[in-house]
């Protein structure tokens, strides 16, 4: 029986400094692609001051992210960070494909209230826009982990809400 689990992150937990705040045992294994899901933003986070990321099953779309190997002792911290007890996110098992073609079964998180309608992320309504700070953390992680250039350009094109106040990232939930 393994003492670790694989976690597919696609939001702020792409960034190594962010994942290690609540999950100090996390070790990057690889980057990977989640097929037939789209990245979206929906639920407002008081700590991030904007909408947080989610994945929504959608044929023909793909989400890039990082696979972390995490000690089982950190699982309660990860669930708490993702707001599982508060019904913000729920854990789910996803199969992701590495650049080498390997399929990995991972834990990930999806918002309980996903947006039903797909909207171009350049045109998100204000209530679904992330804060620039949250988006910047996602971009730092994407660049740090060398996600594909076209995916980084896609992330750079996402509308944000323009909030420029302070954010306490050590307290901010919704790391996916």
User: Is pLDDT above 50 for 173?
Assistant: no
Within a domain: residue 172?
no
- How confident is the model over 94-128, as pLDDT tens digits? 999 999 999 999 999 999 998 877 888 998 999 99
Distance, in Å, from the CA atom of 122 to the CA atom of 156, rounded to the nearest integer, reads 9
Q: What value does the mean pLDDT take over residues 58-76?
A: 97
Within a domain: residue 176?
no
Distance, in Å, from the CA atom of 40 to the CA atom of 38, rounded to the nearest integer, reads 6
Split into its structural domains, the chain has a count of: 1
Within a domain: residue 167?
no
Give SS3 for 84.
Answer: coil
Confidence of residue 169 (pLDDT cuts 50, 70, 90): low
Within a domain: residue 119?
yes
Give me the residues paired with residue 172 across strands.
none
In 25-144, DSSP assigns E strands to 27-45, 50-71, 89-97, 103-111
Q: Is the dihedral of CA 49, 125, 42, 99 positive or negative?
A: negative
Within a domain: residue 175?
no
Q: Which two tokens stand for residue 22?
A: 């609540």
Residue 82 is a catalytic residue = yes
CATH number, domain containing residue 59: 3.10.490.10
Within a domain: residue 161?
no
Within a domain: residue 123?
yes
User: Is pLDDT above 60 for 93?
Assistant: yes
Range of the domain at 92: 4-156
- How confident is the model over 128-167, as pLDDT tens digits? 999 999 999 999 999 999 999 999 999 999 999 999 888 8
Kindly name the residue from 59, 69, 82, 126 that is annotated as catalytic.
82
Q: What does pTM read for this prediction?
A: 0.93
Question: Is-contact 74 25, C-beta < 8 A?
Answer: yes
Q: What local confidence, expressed as pLDDT, does residue 170 receive?
A: 58
């Amino acid at each position: 029986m393994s003492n670790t689990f694989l976690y597919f992150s696609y939001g702020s937990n792409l960034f190594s400094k962010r994942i290690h705040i609540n999950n100090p045992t996390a070790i990057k294994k690889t980057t990977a692609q989640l097929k037939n899901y789209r990245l979206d933003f929906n639920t407002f986070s008081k700590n991030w001051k904007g909408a947080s990321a989610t994945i929504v099953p959608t044929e023909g779309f793909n989400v890039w992210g990082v696979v972390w190997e995490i000690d089982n002792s950190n699982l309660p911290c990860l669930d708490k960070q993702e707001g599982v007890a508060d019904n913000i996110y729920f854990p789910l098992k996803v199969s992701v494909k590495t650049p080498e073609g390997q399929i990995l079964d991972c834990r990930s998180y999806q918002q309980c209230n996903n947006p039903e309608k797909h909207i171009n992320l350049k045109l998100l309504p204000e209530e679904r826009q992330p804060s620039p700070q949250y988006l910047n953390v996602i971009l730092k992680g994407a660049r740090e982990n060398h996600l594909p250039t076209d995916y980084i350009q896609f992330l750079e094109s996402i509308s944000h809400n323009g909030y420029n106040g302070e954010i306490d990232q050590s307290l901010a939930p919704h790391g996916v």
